[in-house]
Amino acid sequence: MFTGIVTDIGEVLAVERREGLARLAIGCGFAREAMTIGASIACSGICLTVVAIGERVGRTTFDVDAGAETLTVTTAGDWQAGTRINLEPALKLGDELGGHLVTGHVDGVAEIIAREDFSDMARLAVRAPAMLSRFIAAKGSVALDGVSLTVNAVEGDTFSTLVIPHTLKATTFGTLAKGSKVNFEADVMARYAARLMER
């Protein structure tokens, strides 16, 4: 479980593709001694398991495996050496829940259809996968590339969100532009509420 509060921007250093699997080496700013094999890290919103820990040019590295489903349903299938990704270690009991509850189970890929920049902020218009639009509500929460965001307005399968200056600096959002693809996770509470209504 995560909160959608990104604590580091990592970089994909290498991708080793096998049949139905990709081993990703990621460089990060986390202290090596703070990482453990088997730990969960949200990589641009995707919950992935640390399978190896190392160091390269004075920088901590960790390896994760992305399976066929992950490579198909998320943006991970397009990652290559040099891709920058948002990182968040798993939530620990007692940690501050600054964003909202994020599972790291990405629902699909959304697209930035417009970006409006202000002095230090940006408003993003996002098109979500149509089948997930029922989980999006004004003033509700979504996670895009692992970042917890508040929905400002919704119309059909599109919604808008305002990105504050800190988020633009502390995440990969500073480089998002029209046409960018992002991992989308609906609020887990909205998902359960919709399921209860169906029943």
**What are the φ and ψ backbone dihedral angles of 32, each rounded to 5 degrees?**
-60, -40
Predicted confidence at residue 95, as pLDDT, reads 81
Lowest pLDDT segment from 5-14, 27-36, 96-105, 140-149: 96-105
Predicted confidence at residue 78, as pLDDT, reads 97
Q: pLDDT: is 20 or 64 the higher one?
A: 64
Residue-range domains of the chain with CATH: 8-89 (2.40.30.20), 108-198 (2.40.30.20)
* Confidence (pTM): 0.93
% of the chain at pLDDT higher than 70: 98
Please, what is the average pLDDT of the chain? 94
Q: pLDDT: is 180 or 197 the higher one?
A: 180
Rounded Cα gap, residues 107 and 121, in angstroms: 27
Rounded Cα gap, residues 67 and 95, in angstroms: 29
Burial level of 19, CB count in 10 A (0-12/13-18/19+)?
A: exposed
Predicted confidence at residue 199, as pLDDT, reads 66
Q: How large is the average pLDDT for residues 83-95? A: 91
